[in-house]
Amino acid sequence: MNILVTGAWHDAKEHIGQIEKLGHSVRFMQYEKEALPCDYNWVEGVICNGLFLTHQIQNFTNLKYIQLTSAGLDRVPMDYVQKKNIHIFNARGVYSIPMAEFAVGGVFQLYKRYSLFYCNKNLHKWEKQRDLIELFGKTVCIAGCGSVGTECAKRFKAFGCRVIGVDVVKQNNDNYDELFLTDSFDDVIKQADIVVLTLPLTKETHHILDKSMIDKLKPNAVLINISRGGVVDTQALIEALKENKFLGAVLDVFEEEPLAEDCELWDLQNVVITPHNSFVGDGNNNRLNNVIMKNLMSMGEIV
């Protein structure tokens, strides 16, 4: 198979020889916005991230294999992929561990008021806080029970939380105390002290957390979004946070990225903001390398 590999796979150059030993021909391009180092019709497989944002997938007339370095599929025209029976693999499980750790850490930032203690440290100010919150015994609702959601569930369970899951598919998973379908989300969310969003962005999940859903959050609730910004109605969220309708939000993803400098979210004291950074971890490269090579070997059995 003729494979185009992009710099989205950071360790690509270290594995090109290994790929060629599997019988594949490889062309490498560092930046996905650049011109291809080969003809479009040469390419039978790609290992990339956002290649199809700048290169129309229809130009790849012989494409039969896509390996993404991302977990999400929202940068790929999936209707076309399915129509053409192109085999597609994502980076499932690669980023789940750091994202789950981030989710738990985000709750602690709000529950333990780390930002206030940090400010007081800089001011050399000794001031006890008598309203810190425990994670133990809280109910956590995880919307999206894939690999990221499940890693979140494991960690919250370890802290003595009751974990309930919401997903498009009813499944058996011992990491959750209860599981519900997404059409029950509007009822389930009322139970939650912590809501973690790990849903993929689709037509069905766009603004799944709209004003009516946000209004259902408990007054002491914490909302964590580590999925995609588009699953939340940003303006409705801002208004609710400004009115202190719930405890706070931990936001790593946004409808528009980078987040505009004049966005009101920056100035809200009950919001933790990070720049789409929750997926970063020092074990990612090894996990991604293993996923890519495993999927390539499975393609050898198919083609």
Active-site residue set: 228, 257, 276
Q: How far is CA 285 from CA 10, 142, 276, in A?
A: 8, 26, 18
User: Who contacts 33 (Cβ-Cβ below 8 Å, separation ≥6)?
Assistant: 54
Amino acid at 120: N
What distance in Å separates the CA atoms of residue 26 and residue 64, rounded to the nearest whole number?
15
Q: How far is CA 302 from CA 20, 65, 179, in A?
A: 17, 10, 35
Give the CA angle between residues 284, 290, 294 to the nearest 5°: 145
Q: Which two tokens stand for residue 298?
A: 């499975």
